[in-house]
């Protein structure tokens, strides 16, 4: 995640414009470390996601480190509304797991799309049961590490259900103001504050880059950046 010094995670509704070149480089290299990248429906619609790892050099980096060239794209959506036109779904090489409780399907596209239905009434709509969905991704898909890129509502649900090991947070030396701007965790207050401990902190041209581990979690260790 990325935020301003006053804690805002968007500028004009978008994350673009908050972080600088170093943040973008870190963002794309983090994508080379995980088996899958997970994104909520609101962020998908706003940011217009395309191929997860766009640069051939970074796909080659994944392969050299024993991963598939393209991470699985995990799309989390209760209703599937507004996802049919995503550029991501037009990429033949992209494997997509749609995590939903809805019964419908997206129109056929070039990407390889499969459905992981998990919810209070599977196929009947409602909130996605993230714990059940992630358990299936591990058992049936062999996914052991997932990088979540938000948005804030999905972050809140993951924290609420104890599914977060680590947080990578870039802090930009900017002030945005405005009560309407999102923070990195949205929705109702968590039942208890989630306590984290620092793994490392870096600085580059005024930007701060932190890796934090949720207390009591070992983090898996797979997200180390390698060059």
In this prediction, residue 124 carries a pLDDT of 56
**Which residues is 148 bridged to in the sheet?**
38
Closest by Cα among 93, 153, 94 to 128: 153
What does the DSSP assignment read for the chain?
A: -EEETT----BTTBSTTTS-HHHHHHHHHHTTTSSEEEEEHHHHHHHT---SS--HHHHHHHHHTTS-SSPEEEEE-SS-TT-TT-GGGG-TT-EEEEEESBS--PPP-SSEEEEEE-STTTBB-SS--HHHHHHHHHHHH----EEE---HHHHHHHHHTT---EEEEEEES-----TTS--SS-SSPPSSPPPEEEEEEEEETTEEEEEEEETT----STT----
Place of tokens 């935020």: 3
Q: What is the pLDDT of residue 122?
A: 55
The CA-to-CA distance between both ends of the chain, in Å, stands at 21
Beta bridge partners of 171: 3, 208
Q: From 3.40.430.10, 2.40.240.20, 3.30.420.40, 3.40.120.10, which CATH number describes the 35-144 domain?
A: 3.40.430.10
Per-residue pLDDT of the chain (227 residues; tens, 9 = 90+): 999 999 999 988 888 889 999 999 999 999 999 999 999 999 999 999 999 999 999 999 999 999 999 999 999 999 999 999 999 999 999 999 999 999 999 999 999 999 999 986 555 557 899 999 999 999 999 999 999 999 999 999 999 999 999 999 999 999 999 888 889 999 889 999 999 999 999 999 999 999 999 998 765 545 454 44
Distance CA 36, CA 127 (A): 21
2/14 Cα distance (integer angstroms): 11
Domain boundaries, the chain: 1-34+150-227, 35-144
């Amino acid at each position: 995640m990325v935020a301003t010094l006053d804690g805002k995670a968007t500028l004009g509704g978008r994350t673009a414009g908050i972080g600088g070149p170093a943040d973008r480089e870190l963002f794309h290299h983090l994508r080379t470390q995980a088996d899958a990248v997970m994104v909520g429906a609101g962020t998908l619609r706003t940011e217009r996601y395309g191929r997860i790892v766009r640069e051939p050099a970074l796909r080659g980096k994944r392969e050299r480190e024993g991963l598939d060239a393209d991470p699985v794209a995990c799309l989390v959506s209760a209703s599937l509304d507004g996802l049919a036109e995503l550029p991501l779904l037009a990429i033949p090489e992209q494997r997509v797991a749609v995590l939903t409780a809805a019964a419908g399907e997206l129109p056929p596209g070039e990407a390889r799309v499969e459905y992981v239905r998990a919810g209070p009434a599977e196929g009947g709509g409602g909130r996605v049961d993230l714990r059940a969905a992630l358990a299936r991704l591990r058992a049936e898909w062999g996914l052991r590490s997932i990088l979540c890129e938000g948005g804030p509502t999905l972050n809140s649900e993951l924290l609420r259900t104890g599914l977060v090991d680590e947080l990578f947070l870039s802090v930009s030396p900017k002030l945005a103001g405005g009560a309407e701007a999102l923070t990195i965790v949205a929705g109702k207050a968590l039942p208890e504050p989630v306590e984290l401990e620092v793994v490392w902190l870096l600085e580059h041209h005024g930007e701060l880059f932190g890796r934090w581990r949720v207390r009591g979690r070992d983090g898996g260790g797979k997200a180390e950046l390698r060059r």
